[in-house]
Amino acid sequence: MNVVTSVDYGTSIPNNVNLADDRRVLKALEKWHPGYIDWWMTMGPEGFQNNPVYLRTATNADVGGWAKFDYVKMPDYRWGILLAPQDENRTIPCGEHFGQPVWQEVPGEYRAMMRRLIVIQGDTEPASVEQQRHLGTTAPSLYDLRNLFQVNVEEGRHLWAMVYLLQKYFGTDGREEANELLRRQSGNEDAPRMLGAFNEATPDWLSFFMFTTFTDRDGKMQLEALAQSAFDPLARTTRFMLMEEAHHMFVGVTGVQRVINRTCQAMVDAGIDDPNDIDRVRALGVIDLPTIQKKANLHFTLSLDLFGSEISTNAANAFNSGVKGRFREDRLTDDHRLTSDTYPVLRPIDGQIKLVDAPALSALNMRLRDDYVKDCMKGIDMWNKTIRKAGIDFEIVLPHVAFHRQIGEFSSIKASPTGEILSDAEWEENKDSWLPTKADGDFIDSLMVSEFEPGKFAGWISPPKMGIDNRPGDFEYVKL
């Protein structure tokens, strides 16, 4: 079989799925395209649509050298349909069909479940673009402005990726769902996005960096689960998306690190060694570490909610049918069926948080969330290294998973960041020291002033260690 990897830019929609010979799908996508551009112009980045931005565009689905960088105006970005190369010997990695050849079409019995998962994933992609649309005007540098737009155009491409699957494999239903994806809007009262975290505001750049650290990482975990799907086109699509997703988390983790670094340097220069001396630190025009911790608390917990209920029959069914797998299923060494296994789940029982064994199949959301928390720690460790290096006595910690939850086992209780169950009164009394307040937001907002001179950075954030695509420090990432 011919494994197409290089991208065909000859059709109106760049692709490596041979759209030129698939007229029906090409037509359907061409019909959807104007609505997408319309959405991009009205709900995508505010301003800057006519400015050349130094962006990467995927050119090849092989891992080595898969993208090229060049100046492009965002509406001219070549959003394409890109799947990772096909592995002809791939077999179903989990569930009751374990070991059978993967599917190239969707089996009728799993159609509804599969469509729902693709739609939920697809809905998050444009949502984050909408959430971030106001940020351009307050970018702390051209470097950061470029990174924001890179993330935005790639989330747009991820929407295309899901829409391709809907249009190709789900007939009329798929077409309707593709249109709905352009109709719902983040935070819209009548037609909100499907998941809570994607209807929250991203009011400032620290929120953006936290979002790309924590919420894009949830996206990574969901994509990792779908990358194990028995439905091979979905697995290949998501594997390619994961290559782009890695950059989004890089933007987030290094973004927060640069904020922390700047704060620590300013404190050292001013001779302030108490990180809780918030007024003095803020007077230096940088964001104090306790406020950074609060922002992390908020975005981490909103992202935990995206994993759904710890105990879930839907998750069991999706795994059992092979529609999605566990994180890195193909590298795990158990029987991949889990019919008689258990998994430890945290639950509130008799006023205490306890770890109890649950059937492993029902506990798959909990397991994915555990993998997510481990993955988050890499970023946290990096942040703390920066604080330690500056000699400041402070540590960013991830709050307990019971803290500030709206979904799952802990949604019915109130807990502290260290996992003590609280009364409503205790929660009310302390919540402002754990989550960002209006005053914290106002302070951060006061720092959000654009810096658009090449090589210059706003005073609350350090320059990056290296430029994008190895460009020098004063490179003009966006031509204004």
Residues of this chain that bind Fe ion (CB under 5 A): 125, 155, 158, 216, 245, 248
Bridge partners, 71 (sequence order): 54
At its nearest, how many Å lie between Fe ion and the CB of residue 379? 15
Which residue number, 129 or 361, has a Cβ lying nearer to Fe ion? 129
Q: How far is the CB of 344 from Fe ion (least distance, A)?
A: 30
Cβ proximity to Fe ion, 216 vs 310, nearer residue: 216
The DSSP symbol for 422 reads E
What's the CA gap between 254 and 248, in Å, rounded? 10
The Cα–Cα gap between 15 and 122 comes to 18
Q: How far is it, in rounded angstroms, from Cα 115 to Cα 169?
A: 9
Taking the complex as a whole, how short is the minimal distance between the CB of residue 102 and Fe ion, in angstroms? 23
- Shortest CB 436 distance to Fe ion, Å: 22
Taking the complex as a whole, how short is the minimal distance between the CB of residue 409 and Fe ion, in angstroms? 27
User: Based on CB atoms, which residue is closest to Fe ion, 155 or 329?
Assistant: 155
In this structure, which amino acid lies at residue 24? R
- State which residue, 216 or 370, has the beta carbon closest to Fe ion: 216
Half-sphere exposure of residue 276, counting CA atoms within 13 Å on the CB side? Answer: 4
**314 — phi, psi (to 5°)?**
-60, -45
- Least gap, CB of 120 to Fe ion (angstroms): 13
Residue 472 to residues 65, 403, 477: CA-CA distances in angstroms? 20, 43, 10
Closest CA to 210 of 440, 429, 44: 440
Q: Which amino acid is residue 157, in one-letter code?
A: R
- Looking at the Cβ atoms of 143 and 211, the one nearer to Fe ion is 211
Question: Which region holds residue 52: left if phi is over 0, alpha if psi is between -120 and 50, else beta?
Answer: beta
Between CA 403 and CA 185 the distance in angstroms is 28
Which lies closer to Fe ion via its Cβ, residue 245 or residue 305?
Answer: 245
**What contacts 63, CB < 8 A, 6 or more positions away?**
243
Closer residue to Fe ion in complex, CB, 167/238: 238
Residue with tokens 């994509």: 223
Q: How many residues does the chain have?
A: 480
Closest approach, Cβ 117 to Fe ion, in A, equals 15
Instruction: Locate 209 and state its tokens.
Output: 């960096």
Nearer to Fe ion, 184 or 400 (CB): 184
Q: How far is the CB of 147 from Fe ion (least distance, A)?
A: 12
Residue 7 has φ and ψ, to the nearest 5°, of -90, 135
Cβ distance 20 to 8 under 8 Å?
A: yes
